[in-house]
Amino acid sequence: MSKKIVTFGEIMLRLATPGYERFSQATQFNATFGGGEANVAVSLANYGMNAEFVTRLPKNDIAESCIMNLRKYGVGTHNILRGGDRVGIYFLETGAVARASKVVYDRANSSIAEIKPGMINWREVLKDADWFHWTGITPALSQGAADACLEAIQVANEMGVPVSTDLNYRKNLWKYGKSASEVMPALVNGCDVILGNEEDAEKVFGIKPEGFDVAHTGGEVNAAEFESVCKQLMTRFPRAKKVIITLRGSINANHNTWRGCLYSDGSLKISKDYNITHIVDRVGGGDSFMGGLIYGLLTYTGNDQKALEFAVAASCLKHTIYGDFNMVTVAEVEALMGGDGSGRVSR
């Protein structure tokens, strides 16, 4: 019986400029779908797990196309609420070398931004669930979305369903009059597993490693510096059993180093370091890490190091795949974990 994971958040229409074109050059856009929690659900479905995605979408053809897209990858959609007027959109300009990627959001008044607590029967949605996942993007959308997310976390806690979060701080989203540092603590209080990067912990909770500046890493990130971040997060949120930090060293827009560290039971586990020299698409990289981590924690129970290595290898592969979704198999991830990163033709 495969494990059932429920994720909750917004899925958007993604309109990306072709190749490395700038917005001002583009005369057409490539249309796909994506969003933090949906990306996690697709990863888990690809790994053979029972992944359910919960959101609110309008009744129109774009929403139908979105739901069909999720179903294509094996994600459960029967708990998607219908209502509201629009699917959120985000525009993506992919950077190259010294020019960073850019995202422009067009998601105000989307169907999920207008959700209210009580609209979703969380007891029904979470029955038989083995895991519940949300990200810091959802409570940034609106007070209603934050309230619905808190409601889900509280029901999951009551039902004994493990809860994970990716802190995912997005400064351009917190627009409804509340800050992340006001809203997030109550939600993170109910989490068993917390994922973030050095920026998330600092921007949301004021927690930072000693003497670290992400702009001056030169692509080198020392995982041991982040043990203090993990400990501080655990002290602040005592329910958390595991804190994971993703460590991206940015040499340029196409060349990153990538690893992670996981703190649990008083010890820090550090993954192997990947040198990603030719990035195809890094959007969804953190979500692919989370999807790999949830799979690893549920599959390799008691082996946090292996769960961490699976997450890092999975997200390393995601950087080679166009779109938000990480379309890889367990066998492909395990091959990379085992050291097969040659890229030789499989035949």
140/281: higher pLDDT: 140
* The predicted structure's pLDDT at residue 258: 84
Q: What is the mean pLDDT of the chain?
A: 92
* The predicted structure's pLDDT at residue 253: 85
Q: Over pLDDT 70: what percentage of the chain?
A: 93
* The predicted structure's pLDDT at residue 215: 54
Lowest mean pLDDT among 91-95, 107-111, 188-192, 337-341: 337-341
Give the residue among 90, 96, 135 at the shortest CA–CA distance from 282.
96
Query: Cα 153 vs. chain centroid, distance in angstroms?
Result: 17
Band (pLDDT 50/70/90 cuts) for residue 210 is low
* The predicted structure's pLDDT at residue 341: 65
Summarize the confidence of residues 129-147 as an average pLDDT. Answer: 97
Whether domain 4-335 has CATH 3.40.1190.20: the reply is: yes
Q: What is the pLDDT of residues 296-326, one digit of tens each?
A: 999 999 999 999 999 999 999 999 999 999 9
Domain ranges, ordered by start, for the chain: 4-335
Q: How many CB atoms lie within 10 A of CB 312?
A: 30
Residue burial 255-278, b: 16+ Cβ < 10 Å; e: rest: ebbbbbbbbbeeebbbbebbebee
Summarize the confidence of residues 143-149 as an average pLDDT. Answer: 98
* The predicted structure's pLDDT at residue 281: 81
**Residue 161 reports pLDDT greater than 80:** yes
Band (pLDDT 50/70/90 cuts) for residue 275 is confident
Query: Which strand (E) or helix (H) includes residue 251?
Result: strand 242-252
Residues contacting 94, CB < 8 A, separation 6+: 16, 17, 19, 20, 101, 281
Q: What is the pLDDT of residues 47-86, one digit of tens each?
A: 999 999 999 999 999 999 999 999 999 999 999 999 999 9
* The predicted structure's pLDDT at residue 249: 84
Give the dihedral sign, CA 14/19/24/28.
Answer: negative
